[in-house]
Amino acid sequence: MTEHELGELLAGHPVLYHMAEAGSWPSIRARGLLSTSALLDLYGVEGAAREAVEAQRRAASVVLEAPGLGRAVIRDNRPLNEARLARALPEDLPVAEWLRLLNGRVFFWLTRERLGRLLGARLYRDASHDVLEVEAASLVAAHRDRIELSPINSGVTDPFAAPRGRETFRPIADYPYADWRRARGRRGEAVVELAVQGGVPDIVRHVRRVVRMRGEVEEGVVWARVAPDVLEG
C-alpha cells in the first residue's frame, strides 16, 4: 500500500469501530484495549485454562478477575465453526495456531455496515454492547508499526469460510491494496479489518465516543470527548 492509497483509505473510513462487552469501557479506559493474549498475560492465566481461551472456540464469554485488577471480559467467538475453519486453512496451519493469531490482536471494522451486521447477528442482537468509535488517522499515526490489514472477516466461517492463512494479515506497507481494489471494484471493500498486534494501550487518546448499543439501536452514550449526557460506565 502506497502513502497515497493509505490516505485514500483513511479519507474513506475516518472512523473505526470495535464492539466490546457492555460495561467494559471503564476497564478498557484504565488499561487500554488489550488482545485476548495480552489480557491472559495480565491476569496470569496459564496452562489448560489459557489453552481453553486462547486456542479453542469460546462458546461463551470468559470473565477474568484478580486482586488489584478487577474484572475483564473476553468475548466469545461463537461465529466461528472449527470444522469449516480447518477446511479454510492451509494444511500446515492448525486451527489452534490460527486462533492464537486472532487472539494476539485487537480488531476494528472500517465501516458502520460491518459493525451493524455483527450487532444484528442472531447471536448478539438481543444483548447490549459497548461500541468504541475510534479516529482512524490518529490510531494509524500512533501504532502504524503494529497495524495489519485483512481483506476478509477473519473470525467467522458462515455462510462461507473464505480461505485464510498467515498472509491474511499484512502490514500496511505490504498490503496489496490496489489488487483488492481492482478485484472488488470501487464500491467494494479493499480492506475489511484493521488489526493491532497486542492491543492499543492508549486507546482513550483515539476514541471519539463509546456508545451502548443493542442491535443497531443506540441506547445511550457511555463516554465522549464532549458529551452533555452520558450513561454510567
pLDDT in tens, the chain (233 residues): 999 999 999 999 999 999 999 999 999 999 999 999 999 999 999 999 999 999 999 989 999 999 989 889 998 888 889 999 999 999 999 999 999 999 999 999 999 999 999 888 888 888 999 999 999 999 999 999 999 999 999 988 887 889 999 999 999 999 999 999 999 987 789 999 999 999 999 999 999 999 999 998 999 999 998 654 555 54
Q: Tell me how far CA of residue 83 lies from CA of 90, 153, 157, in angstroms.
A: 13, 17, 9
How many distinct structural domains can be found in the chain? 1
Q: Which residue range forms the structural domain that includes residue 133? A: 3-224
In a domain, 212, yes or no: yes
φ, ψ at 108 (rounded to 5°): -130, 140
Give the relative orientation of helices 3-12 and 177-184 as an angle to the nearest 10 degrees: 50
**Domain membership flag for residue 59:** yes
Q: Quick one: pLDDT at residue 231?
A: 55
**Positive or negative CA dihedral for 117, 118, 124, 127?**
negative
SS3 204: helix
Q: Is 165 within a domain?
A: yes
Q: Strand 193-197's sheet: what is its strand order?
A: 170-171, 147-150, 193-197, 105-109, 15-21, 128-135, 207-214, 217-224
pLDDT of residue 230: 52
Predicted local confidence at residue 158, as pLDDT: 84
Q: Give, in order, the Cα–Cα distances in Å from 225 to each of 67, 108, 209, 229.
A: 30, 20, 7, 11
**What are the grid coordinates assigned to 199, written together?**
492491543
What pLDDT is recorded for position 216? 87
Quote the CA–CA distance of 113 and 119 in Å, as a whole number. Answer: 10
| Residue 12 included in any domain | yes
Distance in angstroms (rounded) separating the CA atoms of residues 121 and 141: 32
Q: Is there a contact between 42 and 69 (Cβ–Cβ < 8 Å)?
A: yes
185: helix, strand or coil: coil
Grid coordinates representing 182 are: 481492482
Say if residues 63 and 37 touch (Cβ distance below 8 Å).
no
How far apart are the C-alpha atoms of 133 and 16, rounded to whole Å? 6
| 81, part of any domain | yes
pLDDT for 228 equals 47
- pLDDT the model gives residue 188: 87
**Predicted local confidence at residue 227, as pLDDT:** 53
In a domain, 22, yes or no: yes
The pLDDT assigned to 229 comes to: 52
Residue 232 within a domain: no
In a domain, 184, yes or no: yes
